[in-house]
Chain A
Amino acid sequence: MLDGGIYPKRREVLLAGGAAIAGGLAGCAGENDGGQSSQFDESDPTVTHERFGKGETSLTYQTSTFYTPIEAESDQPAAAPALKTQHEEWAENHPDYRIEVNYPAFGQWKDNLLTSAAEGNAPDGSTLDSKWVADFYEYLQPLNDHVEDIDDFFPFVRETAMRDGDLLAAWKYTGCRCLYYRQDILDRYNDGDPPATWEELLAVGQDIVENEDMDAYMFQSSSALASLPYFWSSGGELVDSEGAPVLDRSGNRQALVSALQFVRDLVDTGVTPQRVASVEEVEALPREGRAGNLAMFIGNNDQIERNLKNPVQQDDDVPDDRWERWRVAKIPRPADGEHTTGVGGWAEGAFREGNSDGAAAMKDFIGKFVAPEAMGRYCEAAALLPTRESVFNDSDLYDPDTPYQDRFREFLRDGVARPARPIYSTIASEYTVAIENVVTGQSSPESAAETMIANVNEEYEAT
Chain B
Amino acid sequence: MNEDAPRDGDGEGTADGRTDGGASEVGMAASGGTAPEERSVAGRVRGRLAQFGRLDLSVYALYLLAIAFFVFPVLWVASASLRPPGELFSYPFRLLPAEISLSAYRRVFRAGMVTWLFNSTVITIVGVGSVIAVSVPAAYAFSRFEFTGRRGLLGIVLLFQMISPVIIIVPLYTVMSTLGLLRTRVGLILLYVGIQTPFSIWLLKGYFDTIPQELDYAARIDGCNRFQTLRHVLLRPVAPGIAVVAIFNTVLTWSEFVLAFTVLGSESRLHTISIGVYKFQGQYSNDWRAIAAASVVGMLPLVIVFLGLQRYFVKGLIKGSLKGQ
Whether A and B touch directly in their complex, counting CB atoms under 8 A apart, is answered as yes
Specify which of B186, B266, B287 lies most central, judged by the most chain A CB atoms within 10 Å of its CB.
Answer: B266
Query: Is A104 in contact with chain B by the CB < 8 A criterion?
Result: yes
Question: Which residues of chain A (26-58) have a CB below 8 Å from chain B?
Answer: 27-29, 31-32, 49
Contact assessment for B118 and A6 in the assembled complex, using a CB-CB cutoff below 8 Å: no
A16 and B279 CA atoms in complex are apart in Å by 30
Q: List 13 A-B contacts (CB under 8 A).
A: A6-B137, A17-B126, A17-B130, A32-B269, A72-B110, A75-B287, A107-B281, A109-B266, A115-B265, A282-B285, A291-B89, A292-B91, A317-B90
- Interface contact A105-B118, CB-CB below 8 Å: no
Q: Which residues in B have their C-beta under 8 angstroms from that of A429?
A: none
Q: Which residues of B contact A109 (CB under 8 A)?
A: 266
12 further contact pairs, Cβ within 8 A, besides A10-B130, A64-B282? A17-B122, A17-B129, A20-B122, A20-B126, A24-B185, A66-B283, A103-B268, A108-B261, A112-B265, A112-B266, A121-B183, A291-B89
Tell me the number of A-to-B contacts counted with CB atoms below 8 Å.
Answer: 117
Contact B115 A314 (CB under 8 A): no
List the A side residues contacting B181 at CB < 8 Å.
none
Q: How does the 8 Å CB contact mask read for B302-318 relative to A, with 1 for contact and 0 for none?
A: 00000000000000000
From B129, B137, B266, give the contact of A102 (CB < 8 A). Answer: B266
> In chain B, residues 99-118, which have Cβ atoms closer than 8 Å to a Cβ of chain A?
110-111, 114-115, 118
Q: Does A311 contact B (CB under 8 A)?
A: yes
- Chain B contacts for A280, CB-based, 8 A: 286
A238 CA / B132 CA spacing, docked (Å): 56
Contact of B126 among A16, A113, A121, A315 (CB under 8 A): A16
Say how far A335's CB is from chain B's closest CB, in angstroms.
Answer: 33
B279 adjacent to A104 (CB under 8 Å): yes
Residue of B with least CB distance to A62: B266
Let me know if A106 and B285 touch, CB within 8 A: no
CA distance A227 to B197 in the complex (A): 49
Choose one: B114, B129, B227, B281; the contact of A106 (CB below 8 Å). B281
Among A16, A108, A123, A287, the most chain B Cβ lie within 10 Å of the Cβ of: A108
CA distance A123 to B266 in the complex (A): 10
B283 & A64 in contact (Cβ 8 Å cutoff): yes
B130 cross-chain contacts in A, Cβ below 8 A = 10, 13-14, 17
**Chain A residues near B185 (CB-CB < 8 A):** 21, 24
Does the CB pair B118–A24 fall under 8 Å? yes
A102 touches B268 (CB 8 A): yes
B90-A315 in contact (CB<8A): yes
Q: Does B86 contact A (CB under 8 A)?
A: yes
- Whether B115 lies near A28 (C-beta < 8 A) is yes
Cα distance A62–B86 in the bound complex, in angstroms: 28
In the complex, A18 has a CB within 8 A of chain B: yes
> For the complex, what is the distance from the CA of A103 to the CA of B266, rounded to whole Å?
8
Q: Quick check: is A319 within 8 A (CB to CB) of the other chain?
A: no
Contacts of A119 in B (CB 8 A): 177, 182
Within 8 A of B (CB), among A57-81: 62, 64-66, 72-73, 75
What is the CA–CA distance of A32 and B114 in the complex, to the nearest angstrom?
11
Q: Closest residue of chain B to A18, judged by CB?
A: B186
Check if B82 is an interface residue, CB within 8 A of chain A: no
Bits for A107-126, please: 1 = Cβ < 8 Å to B, else 0.
11100110110010101000
Q: Which residue of B lies closest to A108 (CB)?
A: B261
Q: How far is the CA of A62 from the CA of B266 in the complex (A)?
A: 9
Which 6 pairs between the two chains have the least Cβ-Cβ distance?
A: A283-B285, A17-B126, A105-B279, A282-B284, A104-B266, A291-B91
Shortest beta-carbon distance from A78 to chain B in Å: 14
Contact A17 to B189, CB < 8 A, known contacts A65-B282, A72-B110, A75-B283: yes
B279: chain A residues within 8 A (beta carbon):
103-106
The answer to whether A4 touches B266, judged by C-beta atoms less than 8 angstroms apart, is no
Complex interface bits, A278-289 against B, C-beta within 8 A gives 1, otherwise 0:
001111100100
**Is B160 in contact with chain A by the CB < 8 A criterion?**
no
**A5 touches B (CB below 8 Å):** yes
CB of B61 within 8 A of chain A?
A: no
Indicate if B229 sits at the interface (CB-CB under 8 A).
no
| Beta-carbon contact of A75 and B282 below 8 Å | yes
A25 CB–B CB distance under 8 Å: yes
Per-residue CB contact flags for chain B residues 162-199 toward chain A (1 = under 8 Å, else 0) read 00000000000000010000111110010000000000
- Contact (Cβ within 8 A) B122 A4: no
Q: State whether B118 touches A17 (Cβ < 8 A).
A: no
B52-70 with Cβ < 8 A to chain A: none
In the complex, which residues of chain A have a beta carbon less than 8 angstroms from the beta carbon of B285? 75, 281-284
Tell me whether A24 and B90 are in contact in the complex, defined as CB-CB below 8 angstroms, given that A5-B227, A13-B129, A73-B110 are known contacts: no
Q: Tell me whether A407 is interfacial, beta carbon within 8 Å.
A: no
The CB with the most chain A CB atoms within 10 A, among B110, B126, B227, B267, is that of: B126
Which A residues lie within 8 Å of B14 (CB)? none
B24: chain A residues within 8 A (beta carbon): none
Q: Which residue of B lies closest to A70 (CB)?
A: B110
A5 to B118, CA, bound (A): 31
Q: What residues of B have a CB within 8 angstroms of the CB of A322 in the complex?
A: none
* Minimum CB–CB distance for B185 against chain A, Å: 5
**B:231-280 near A, CB below 8 Å:** 261, 265-269, 275, 278-279
A9 near B: Cβ within 8 Å? yes
Q: Known contacts A16-B126, A109-B266: does B114 contact A31 (CB below 8 Å)?
A: yes
Does B134 count as interface, using CB distance less than 8 angstroms? Answer: yes
B156 at the binding interface (Cβ < 8 Å): no
Q: How far is the CA of A17 from the CA of B268 in the complex (A)?
A: 20
Interface membership of B119, Cβ < 8 A = yes
Q: Judging by beta carbons under 8 Å apart, are B126 and A28 in contact?
A: no
Q: Give the distance in Å from the alpha carbon of A14 to the alpha carbon of B187 in the complex.
A: 11
Known contacts A6-B137, A24-B122, A106 near B283 by CB under 8 Å: yes
Do A66 and B284 touch across chains, with their CB atoms under 8 A apart? yes
B300 within 8 Å of A (CB atoms): no
B133 at the interface (CB under 8 A from A): yes
- Cα A283 to Cα B278 in complex, Å, equals 18
Residues of A within 8 Å of B267, CB to CB, are: 102
Q: How far is the CA of A77 from the CA of B91 in the complex (A)?
A: 25
Of the candidates A4, A28, A284, the one having the most CB atoms from chain B within 10 angstroms of its own CB is A28
Do B265 and A116 touch (CB < 8 A)?
Answer: yes
> Considering only CB atoms, which chain B residue lies closest to A109 in the complex?
B266
Q: Which residue of B lies closest to A113 (CB)?
A: B266
**A-chain residues with CB within 8 Å of residue B115 when the two chains form the complex:** 28, 31-32
Interface pair B281/A311, CB less than 8 Å apart: no
B86 touches A315 (CB 8 A): yes
B92, chain A: closest CB distance, angstroms: 9
Q: Are B133 and A13 in contact (CB under 8 A)?
A: yes
- Residues 195 to 210 of chain B near chain A (Cβ within 8 Å): none
Instruction: Tell me whether A27 and B266 are in contact (CB under 8 A).
Output: no
Residues B269 and A105 in contact, CB atoms below 8 Å apart: no
Give B253 Cβ to nearest chain A Cβ, in Å: 13
B122, B133, B278, B284: the one contacting A75 at CB < 8 Å is B284
How many angstroms between the C-alpha atoms of A106 and B290 in the bound complex? Answer: 14
Question: Measured between alpha carbons, how far is A14 from B90 in the docked complex, in Å?
Answer: 50
Residues of B within 8 A of A14 (CB): 130, 186
- Determine the chain A residues whose CB is within 8 A of the CB of B281 once the complex forms: 105-107
Option from A6, A281, A317 in Cβ contact (under 8 Å) with B286 = A281
| A18–B187 alpha-carbon span in the complex (Å) | 11
